[in-house]
Amino acid sequence: STPFLSLCVICGDVGLPVLPRMLRSVLCRRLGPCADEVVIWWNGKTSTPDPAEWGLPPEVDIRVIQGEWRDNFAWARQQSFEAARGEWRMYLDADDILSGGEDDAETQKSIQRASLTQGEVMHHATLQAAIDALKDAGAKHIVPIALAH
């Protein structure tokens, strides 16, 4: 079946040490992974990494595509988008962290203080309503993520 949301990432040797943490912030969540597919556009000089070594949920399709670096982030991002199969595509840098994950103790405490569950926050009808709920819960840094359809 067609994935709903594909996470696209450009990564090379420099970003490899932080890439597993970013992926865990997106995929290892109490309510399940936020993405159905991950496409890693790998342009490193070392051998292609094996995501199976990172302890990620096995139900998420993670593909590493060997790409070239043309000194052009926009081009590389577009290549990752074209390789993705999801109905929606989201891009994150290898060093980004999606707050609210199981590892994010500060966000978890803020949500608990406001007597909200992650499910209640995530099911608001609009992005603005979700942002307002996170602010009310004490979140300090909120970064809306652009999705491409």
Residue 123: the pLDDT is: 36
Residue 113: the pLDDT is: 47
pLDDT grade, residue 99 (50/70/90)? confident
In angstroms, rounded to a whole number, what is the distance separating the alpha carbons of residues 90 and 105? 24
In angstroms, rounded to a whole number, what is the distance separating the alpha carbons of residues 6 and 62? 10
Residue 102: the pLDDT is: 53
As a whole number, the mean pLDDT across the chain is 77
19, pLDDT greater than 90: yes
Residue 124: the pLDDT is: 33
Residue 103: the pLDDT is: 54
